A and B are shown apart, each in its own frame.
Chain A
């Protein structure tokens, strides 16, 4: 099982000091978080893409390319890549380029983005959100898998004899996850292609996450990619830890109370009960996270949101230390002990490359020797 962090890259005032970091500080902080994530033994760093303040990461492959140069093991991913407003041609090229620079340590999570005004800035309309996600992704897959593409669709200019460059590293496209909070169409899309499905799992009750994952799993089996329990599932989670749980609650409460999305609403206690948010001791985080598999089955990737709501970088790095040293090693062991042998790990560049080579060998054997 893979563990990691995901960040949206928000610039939010620290409610305890009234200080807001500059864009430069926030961008560098995201890099520091990625480097730290590798150092403490995490497997994945994923970052969001936004084109409106208060968010900084408008150019994920610039940032991930820079992080690739400063790391050597961690998988670089997105949370999410906007499959609706980006040109699929540019996604195909940007992430193939990143694959080469990062020696294959790249996968992506597709998302639609939920802010209406962003769409027209890129010549689109939020009402076409699902249709854009469907058409653009179908094209993106072809651009990575076919050297020369002739294509015509509704949303971009046609392509004639087009070759996206560079070609994917070793001829193996990056693995793709599809992220959606509540659209059954996206679970259906992930299942159709046998791609991964990720639920952010931090804003809504687990019962809802469970329904989306169940839908994805049953459709994954329907489309013949394997049994439902072999589908590739990722979950988000949100935690804040201190040695003593009271200290964690006391320190995190002001950040929670004025956080974007749920701030000025439910109490920390109510929100912790209703959603997977866990504020407490490392042991409490371990216990809560282990319950996720009781709702969604054995899954492949767990990402934690650690750096939002104005938490200072120093605190976030301390949190990563606790996550890497006290929480993830136990989770690795516990999850591994529970996972049956037929449930696969999340695909990586190495495993996809090996699978592609095996498939080629089989083709060679099957060819008639005339």
Chain B
């Protein structure tokens, strides 16, 4: 049985958090979809809140403390990413953005991403397309066409429809997983020869 690693980044602040709930359901749907194809999924949940101090320290010092470094490596090495943020002031939360600010800006290049967001009202649902998509486009990630937004009603009367959207998004993510994610060249392994630098 082959295996795929899925990094799940969720930036909810409360316990329990609706962002975490959505992240868990997305991860479960992706796992089901993969197992139907005979592929095992290894999902690693990353609660951004747990690294809030380290993220600030990384911004101030320029390097990630040891624990955060491990988490950033998990995201870099994953075959796919599920990213979920609460909607704050018409956008992703500041904490969510900090995570992607300190992540190497080449880390997500070519990586399939499933976008998720939560909010108190469905009036914010375009946050996926107006805030998250541009961010992941800059990072050269490959977000699947369906993003999943969950408002308060989606946890009650709208639950069935939410499940449909989650299943659709999971199917799309898994469909992209046969792609080889390009690995970044290590500048410390293969430096540009100095003659090339001298010749401009």
Report yes or no: A270 in contact with B65, Cβ–Cβ below 8 A: yes
Among A130, A188, A271, which residue has its beta carbon within 8 angstroms of that of B193? A188
Which residue of chain B is the closest to A192 with respect to CB atoms? B194
Report yes or no: A138 in contact with B198, Cβ–Cβ below 8 A: yes
Known interface pairs A262-B60, A262-B61, A266-B65; A184-B197 also in contact (CB < 8 Å): no
Is A265 interfacial (CB-CB < 8 Å)?
Answer: yes
Report yes or no: B61 in contact with A154, Cβ–Cβ below 8 A: no
Residues of A within 8 A of B187 (CB): 184
Among B60, B63, B188, which residue has its beta carbon within 8 angstroms of that of A211? B188
Residues of B within 8 A of A264 (CB): 60
Among B56, B66, B193, B200, which residue has its beta carbon within 8 angstroms of that of A265? B56
Is B191 interfacial (CB-CB < 8 Å)?
Answer: yes
Is A69 interfacial (CB-CB < 8 Å)?
Answer: no
Prevailing SS type, chain A contact patch: helix
Is A208 interfacial (CB-CB < 8 Å)?
Answer: yes
A212 CA to B187 CA, complexed, in Å: 10
Q: Which of B11-60 contact A (CB under 8 A)?
A: 56-57, 60
Is A189 interfacial (CB-CB < 8 Å)?
Answer: yes
A263 CA to B61 CA, complexed, in Å: 9
Residues of B within 8 A of A263 (CB): 60
Is A219 interfacial (CB-CB < 8 Å)?
Answer: yes
Is B62 interfacial (CB-CB < 8 Å)?
Answer: yes
Report yes or no: A204 in contact with B62, Cβ–Cβ below 8 A: yes
Is B184 interfacial (CB-CB < 8 Å)?
Answer: no
A303 CA to B147 CA, complexed, in Å: 53
A261 CA to B60 CA, complexed, in Å: 7
A185 → chain B closest CB, angstroms:
6
Report yes or no: B65 in contact with A131, Cβ–Cβ below 8 A: no
Residues of B within 8 A of A130 (CB): 197
Is A21 interfacial (CB-CB < 8 Å)?
Answer: no
Q: Which of A227-270 contact B (CB under 8 A)?
A: 261-266, 270
A172 CA to B191 CA, complexed, in Å: 30
Number of interface residues of A (CB under 8 A): 32
Residues of B within 8 A of A187 (CB): 191
Is A134 interfacial (CB-CB < 8 Å)?
Answer: yes
Is B157 interfacial (CB-CB < 8 Å)?
Answer: no
Which residue of chain B is the closest to A219 with respect to CB atoms? B191
Is A129 interfacial (CB-CB < 8 Å)?
Answer: no
Which residue of chain B is the closest to A205 with respect to CB atoms? B63
Is A343 interfacial (CB-CB < 8 Å)?
Answer: no
Residues of A within 8 A of B56 (CB): 265
A208 → chain B closest CB, angstroms:
7
Q: Which of B85-142 contact A (CB under 8 A)?
A: none
A193 → chain B closest CB, angstroms:
8
Report yes or no: A185 in contact with B188, Cβ–Cβ below 8 A: no
A264 CA to B56 CA, complexed, in Å: 9
Residues of B within 8 A of A265 (CB): 56-57, 60-61
Residues of B within 8 A of A191 (CB): 194
Is A55 interfacial (CB-CB < 8 Å)?
Answer: no
Which residue of chain B is the closest to A212 with respect to CB atoms? B188
Which residue of chain A is the closest to B195 with respect to CB atoms? A192
Is A175 interfacial (CB-CB < 8 Å)?
Answer: no
Is B192 interfacial (CB-CB < 8 Å)?
Answer: yes
Closest 10 CB pairs between A and B?
Answer: A265-B60, A192-B194, A266-B57, A184-B191, A188-B191, A265-B57, A184-B187, A204-B63, A262-B61, A211-B188
Q: Which residues of B contact A (CB under 8 A)?
A: 56-57, 60-63, 65-66, 187-188, 191-194, 197-198, 200
